[in-house]
Structure 1
Amino acid sequence: MSIGSQIAWDDTVLPFQLDRSDIRGRVARLDGVLDQVLAQHRYPPEIDALVTEAVLLTALIGQTIKLRWKLSLQVRGDGPARLIATDYYAPTEPGAPARIRAYASFDAARLTPGVVPFSLIGQGYFAMLIDQGRDMQPYQGITPIAGGSLSACAETYFAQSEQLPTRFALGFGRARLPGQPERWRAGGVMLQLMPAASITAPAEGGSGTDGLLQAGDILGGDEAEAWTRANLLLDTVEDMELIGPAVQPTEMLVRLFHEESPRVFDAQPVQFGCTCSEDKVRQSLSIYSAKDIGHMTTDEGIVTADCQFCGAHYELDPATLGFEAEQGRDAGA
């Protein structure tokens, strides 16, 4: 098999189901998406790693939700890595790619090179926001930073906020394919008990940090046995199988879960995409008065705005910004 056919799985999310265990899952492989996300900034390697993990989680989670518009993940902490933010935009039509963007805010003066990236977050929270679009109430769930990785935080989130046993196995790092420069690659598997399963949360709290729920706290009987069995099988996966491209996702699933009767569905392509525009910048500034806009105006007589996600730069006439300018245009009309 050629490298070209192997990397056909890059920047895709493959849904699957383990029929014997009543467990659904996703396999993600990311390459070009990461390259474009990280190319917008010059992050230190530790921040690159955090953004890569967050983007991989976002791709896996976003594909499991019947999403009409946008899923956002945010990780905020009091450490040098202050914010990791990602957005996943649902496909606009069948067969179209989903779009992902991400950025990080960090204090370079407090960074210690070579440390475990997750330790740079410190104390904080992991949040998920689901926005289904106009006329729909957004949903937001928050759990404290817990565990030793962003994937552990996501597992805690699903157990605590959704009572859905969830497991992630992620692999990522810098790699070099033949004839190509070195860059980040990532791959991962997500397992989740089907939502139809009956789950009861313990009244006295969970076994996790500060009483947070874990998957084992909300399962019992046959469901617990099936969940444990699937997790033991996933424990045998190797990073090179996750990241690829030498092993196709379908081959990996057969190796890991052949006794669980894996069944795959159509893969979902993903790509880098940003939704910023001049109109959206104007809308965000429409809440400010002319005096406020004046404080934002540069010595050159313009108001500037930069998109943190894609690096787009906007230069606007202050006379056309703010709610007073809007009122003036309405009156003139």
Structure 2
Amino acid sequence: MKPANTIAWDDTVLPFQLDKSDIRGRVARLDGVLSGVLKQHAYPETVEALVAEMALLTALIGQTISLRWKLSLQVQTDGPVRMIATDYYAPTAGGEPARIRAYASFDEERLTDGAPFDQLGNGYFAVLIDQGDGMKPYQGISGLIGGSLQASAEAYFAQSEQLATRFSLKFGKSVEPGVGEHWRAGGIMLQHMPKASPHVSGEGGSGESGLLLAKDVVNEEDMENWNRANILLDTVEELEMIGPSVPPTDLLVRLFHEEAPRVYDAQQVKFGCTCSEDRVRQSLSIYSAKDIQTMTTPENRVEVDCQFCGAHYDLDPTSVGFEAKKDGDAAGA
């Protein structure tokens, strides 16, 4: 059992606003979410670190969007870690938690002793917003830069959304009395309010390969406020972010008391997967009987494992694909 003082703020995202600086933000703490994500796989520690960072970014970004269904973040690279994918599902009803899932694909023999971000190589950071049936999905892509996923996410917002955005993230393995070693993460996101972001010309920015950065999309008159908030954020300590003793509300007062922080209702998040047998059958419905046969095991079964949660589906090959036998086919033959 976890100590009581870790329960209230674990696996939550707290929205806030700095009224004097025209800046909004989020504070997130993840514990059980990361346990749910990582226990599904035997990832090397360097891969776990990347998945933890990506899940934390997903929680922070997902809560900023007026979302009807799903936000997906994805990194694809030519490095040892080929892909990291995360999904954030909006609450289905008021008071319900949001759900997060994540997984990584990697070549273990190519992993090095370098830092986690060094395992990514060249690639891109993508954001996909899917509002559900009848709505066209939105996708934005930016490069991987700055030596971290958080820097790449900041560049995405500057480049694709022209929003000045800053993340401060802490994550790692924690050992508490009476609790086994497990991953914890905490993060703060700052974002200049959209109305304060200027139109940017196509001349390029000050980042790598001409990418826009936060300083390129803040009006000159607002730069002092933005810089001051970032300087205050730089004073945050790791234990304040992921430790059990400082509630996020106290942390915001400590960091930003002169900026008049105002908090809103916290959003609970949990690990959750949307896979089901019906969804698996739907994904296989585009294949012919000949295609299905190539997926069939020697035991005459089609077996599918969910990459996110590890759920195993064992199906009759004659029951899947667009040529699948319908109920009553055998009787009418």
Q: Secondary structure at the match of 1:284?
A: helix
Q: Does the aligned pair in 1 maintain the 2:158–2:214 contact within 8 Å?
A: yes
Mapped partners of 1:4, 1:92: distance in 2: 28
Return 293-302 or 189-198, whichever deviates more: 189-198
> Shift of the alpha carbon at 1:200?
2.0
Give the Å deviation of 1:221: 2.6
- Aligned partner of 2:151 in structure 1 is 152
User: Per-residue displacement from partner, 1:128-147 (whole Å, max 9, x unpaired)?
Assistant: 00000000000000011111
Tell me if the contact between 1:193 and 1:227 (Cα under 8 Å) persists in the aligned partners.
yes
Cα distance in 2 for partners of 1:46, 1:116 equals 7
CA apart distance, 1:327: 7.7
In 2: Cα distance, 1:330 partner to 1:65 partner: 47
Q: CA deviation at 1:246?
A: 1.5
Structure 2 residue 241 is matched with structure 1 residue 242: yes
* 1:303 corresponds to: 302
Please give the per-residue CA displacement for 1:78-122, whole angstroms capped at 9, x wherever unaligned.
110000000000000111000000000000010113x20001000
CA distance in 2, matches of 1:21, 1:148: 28
Whole-angstrom distance in 2 between the partners of 1:231 and 1:72: 27
Equivalent residues of 1:51, 1:103 under 8 A apart: yes
Alpha-carbon separation, structure 2, partners of 1:4 and 1:16: 25
Partner of 1:70: 70
Normalising to structure 2: TM-score of the pair?
A: 0.96
CA RMSD of aligned residues (A): 1.6
SS in 2 for 1:88: strand
After superposition, the Cα gap between the structure-2 partners of 1:329 and 1:67, relative to the gap in structure 1 and judged at 3 Å, is farther
Whichever residue aligns with residue 217 of structure 1, its letter is D
Q: For the Cα contact (< 8 Å) 1:13–1:27, is it kept in 2?
A: yes
Amino acid aligned to 2:221 = D
- Give the Cα separation in 2 of the matches to 1:173 and 1:215: 27
Task: Give the aligned residue type for 1:62.
Answer: G
- What is the aligned partner in structure 2 of residue 319 from structure 1? 318
- The reply on whether 1:21 has 2:16 as its aligned counterpart is no
Q: Is the 8 A contact 1:202 1:217 kept in 2?
A: no
Measure the CA separation in 1 of the matches of 2:117 and 2:7.
29
Aligned residues: 330
CA distance in 2, matches of 1:117, 1:90: 29
Q: 1:1-333 alignment to 2 at 5 Å?
A: 3-113=3-113, 115-325=114-324
Distance 1:122 1:67 in 2: 31
Shift of 1:198: 4.0
User: Which consecutive residues of structure 1, in runs of 5 or more, have no partner in the other structure?
Assistant: none
Contact 1:103–1:309, Cα closer than 8 Å, also in 2: yes
| 1:177 CA drift (Å) | 1.6
User: Structure 1 CA distance, aligned partners of 2:6 and 2:86?
Assistant: 27
Q: Which range is displaced more, 52-61 or 240-249?
A: 240-249
For residues 46-84 of structure 1, the C-alpha deviation after alignment (integer angstroms, 9 at most, x for no partner) is 000000000000000000000000000000111100000
Residue deviations 1:238-260 (CA, integer Å, cap 9, x gap): 11111121211111100100000
Per the TM alignment, residue 176 of structure 1 is displaced from its structure 2 partner at its CA by 1.1
Contact (CA 8 Å) 2:197, 2:219: kept in 1 or not? no
Q: Give the fraction of aligned pairs with identical amino acids, expressed as a percent.
A: 68
Quote the Cα distance in structure 1 between the aligned partners of 2:160 and 2:325: 41
1:176 and 1:243 mapped to 2: Cα distance? Answer: 12
Q: Distance in 2 between matches of 1:330 and 1:256?
A: 68
Q: Distance in 2 between matches of 1:221 and 1:125?
A: 30
SS in 2 for 1:325: coil
What per-residue deviation string (whole Å, max 9, x for no partner) do you get for residues 8-42 of structure 1? 10000000000001100000000011011000000
Q: Partners of 1:330 and 1:210 in 2: how far apart?
A: 60
User: Structure 1: which 4+ aligned runs deviate by more than 4 Å?
Assistant: 326-332
SS, match of residue 291 in structure 1: helix
Q: TM-score, normalised by structure 1?
A: 0.96
